[in-house]
Amino acid sequence: MVTETSRRRLTLAATSLGSALAFIDTTVVVVALPTIQRSLHLGLQGQQWVYLGYALSLSALYLVSGAIGDRLGLRRAFVAGIVLFAVASALCGLAPSEGVLVGARVLQGVGGALLTTNSLALLRVVYAEDAGRAIGLWTSFTSLATVVGPPAGGAIVEWVSWRWIFVLNLPLAAVAVVLAVTGAGDERPPDERAPVDVVGALLAAGGLAGLAYALVEGARRGIGAVWPAAAVAALLLPSFVLWTSRARSPLVPPKLFRSRNLGPANVVTFLVYAALGGFLLFVPLYLQFLGFTPLEAGAALTPVSLVLSLLAPRFGAIADRVGPRRLLASGPFLITAGIVLLTFVRSKHDVWSVGVPGLALFALGLAMFVAPITATAIGSAPSDLAGIASGVNQTVARVGGLVAVAVIGLVVTVVFDRSSAAAGHTPLDPAAVGHALRHASVSAFRVGMAVAAGLALAGAATAASAISDAPDDLS
């Protein structure tokens, strides 16, 4: 007989392993893209779609996946996501052509959305009042896995075959399924009688897919190239809101928003994850601009993941005991301070004198923030709506990051282009020569990071003023 403690541990192990597979897949495939391109003759556009197919289906389906979990059962939806992810991984590993690989990557994204959204909701239900610590442990394991994943994937690609980065998902997925099934217990049964809101699901998925595509590609190609996707998002997302207000069994039930913390928690999530999105994209680019190799630039952020892995469970447990407000205000404030320090980095020498302290503050702030904000956003919902609450929070975080990449990218480009020396050049180009040209890139980076710091500071202020430590009455 499986005890309650064992059931919790099995569930934590299953959700951590399954989610780690989904997170690692994004970074490992980026490492493998040049090799895949040579093997399948993809071309640049094909490489982009191998990445985008997965990212877009993830972004579009977090919300729908959470609703499915609430209707059909969180554990059942999680296991279905793992199985679907494994099947799609097998198809990726066997793909004979670009079209099959891209289609399989889209299917992987569907499975990834199902398993990640419902894994967090499942932890909230199984661990109840200890959910903050559990989500901290989940964050710790998945963060550590994302550190190990890219170098391990690179070794597999170099020494074996790119196909094995997908094939190896199968035995790991099987272990996650066994752990999840073994850890099943007397969880609250899903409301299987409530119909799935098909119209709402289609409107949400289509609108979010259009928004994600417009943000990702618009930042690179300009709005003129993505206006159809932007138009689809502009039409479908308001239609989803209108439909939700009138539907009998909407995808996002109105009672979800009775919690005092749910709205503020998602506003904080949007602001801080927007800051993180801009930081994690442009800091590695800037370090390479200063003269670091790609490997060195990537390694510079590894300590951030290690600090997150070590400290996230501790801060999650603290939030369980004393409430989340102080951590959710202090964490983004430290993130702001870390980003501001990095704006003073103008050379490789500055990285050691100013950049390292900045990264340390950023890492500590991130560890203070991630587990408490997730636990607050999901714990603010009734247990029968934990899945959709997780889906909302995951969607808000993903869209925040995409918006920041687009906006900060535009700011960096505009500031760089204002320099008379910038004509015909690209911002943050390591090959750039001449004081004026390099000064233009430094100025552009500093303004872009100022925007990121402002977003994080707004998140800290929102948390301090709007998040409550008192638990919600979720009855």
Residue 342 has pLDDT above 80, yes or no: yes
Is 271 contained in some domain?
A: yes
Average pLDDT over residues 401-405: 79
Sign of CA dihedral 151, 152, 155, 157: negative
* Placement of tokens 């500031």 in the chain: 415
Q: What is the pLDDT of residue 44?
A: 59
Whether residues 100 and 80 fall in one domain: yes
* Placement of tokens 């990264």 in the chain: 359
Whether residues 264 and 229 fall in one domain: no
Average pLDDT over residues 134-146: 77
Average pLDDT over residues 414-426: 76
Residues 6 or more apart whose CB falls under 8 angstroms from that of 426 comprise none
Residue 412 has pLDDT above 60, yes or no: yes
Residues 6 or more apart whose CB falls under 8 angstroms from that of 19 comprise 115, 116, 119, 120, 138, 142
Q: What is the pLDDT of residue 434?
A: 81
Query: How far apart are the C-alpha atoms of 466 and 379, rounded to whole Å?
Result: 16
Least confident span in 202-206, 220-224, 338-342: 220-224
Give the number of residues written for the chain. 475
**Which of these, 141, 188, 140, 123, lies nearest to 375 by C-alpha position?**
123
Q: Kindly indicate the confidence band of residue 164, based on its pLDDT and cuts at 50, 70 and 90.
A: very high
Give 453's Cβ-side CA count (13 Å radius): 19
C-beta neighbour count of 310 within 10 angstroms: 14
Residue 330 has pLDDT above 80, yes or no: yes
Q: Kindly indicate the confidence band of residue 2, based on its pLDDT and cuts at 50, 70 and 90.
A: low
Is 221 contained in some domain?
A: yes
Domain holding 450: CATH number?
Answer: 1.20.1250.20
Please report, for residues 196, 252, 388, the alpha-carbon distance to residue 66 in angstroms, rounded to integers and kept in the order given: 11, 9, 4
Is 79 contained in some domain?
A: yes
Residue 225 has pLDDT above 80, yes or no: no
Residues spanned by the domain of 212: 198-250
Whether residues 79 and 31 fall in one domain: yes
Is 190 contained in some domain?
A: no
* Placement of tokens 């899945």 in the chain: 387
Is 191 contained in some domain?
A: no
Query: Is 133:104 a contact under the CB 8 Å cutoff?
Result: no
Residue 46 has pLDDT above 80, yes or no: no
Whether residues 26 and 150 fall in one domain: yes
| Cα end-to-end span (Å), the chain | 31
Whether residues 309 and 445 fall in one domain: yes
Whether residues 206 and 163 fall in one domain: no
Query: How far apart are the C-alpha atoms of 387 and 400, rounded to whole Å?
Result: 20
Is 193 contained in some domain?
A: no
Whether residues 149 and 239 fall in one domain: no
What stretches of 311-466 adopt beta strand conformation (E)?
A: none
Domain boundary among 159, 184, 209: 184
Q: Nearest 5 degrees, angle CA 154-CA 95-CA 177?
A: 75
Alpha helices (H) along 95-222: 98-127, 131-159, 164-167, 169-182, 198-221
- Burial classification of residue 186, based on how many CB atoms lie within 10 Å of its CB (0-12 exposed, 13-18 middle, 19 or more buried): exposed
Whether residues 130 and 233 fall in one domain: no
Query: How far apart are the C-alpha atoms of 162 and 165, rounded to whole Å?
Result: 6
Whether residues 422 and 446 fall in one domain: yes
User: What tokens appear for 226 in the block?
Assistant: 């993505």
Instruction: Summarize the chain as % helix, strand, coil (round to 5).
Output: 85, 0, 15
Chain centroid offset of residue 241 CA: 24
List, for residues 76-124, the tens digit of each pLDDT value: 999 999 999 999 999 999 999 989 999 999 999 999 989 988 888 888 8
Whether residues 308 and 291 fall in one domain: yes
- AA letter at 36: I
User: What tokens appear for 145 in the block?
Assistant: 């896995």
Backbone angles phi and psi of 163, in degrees to 5? -65, -30
Query: How far apart are the C-alpha atoms of 410 and 406, rounded to whole Å?
Result: 6
Q: Kindly indicate the confidence band of residue 329, based on its pLDDT and cuts at 50, 70 and 90.
A: very high
Whether residues 170 and 207 fall in one domain: no
Is 135 contained in some domain?
A: yes
Domain count of the fold of the chain? 3
Is 364 contained in some domain?
A: yes
Whether residues 297 and 445 fall in one domain: yes
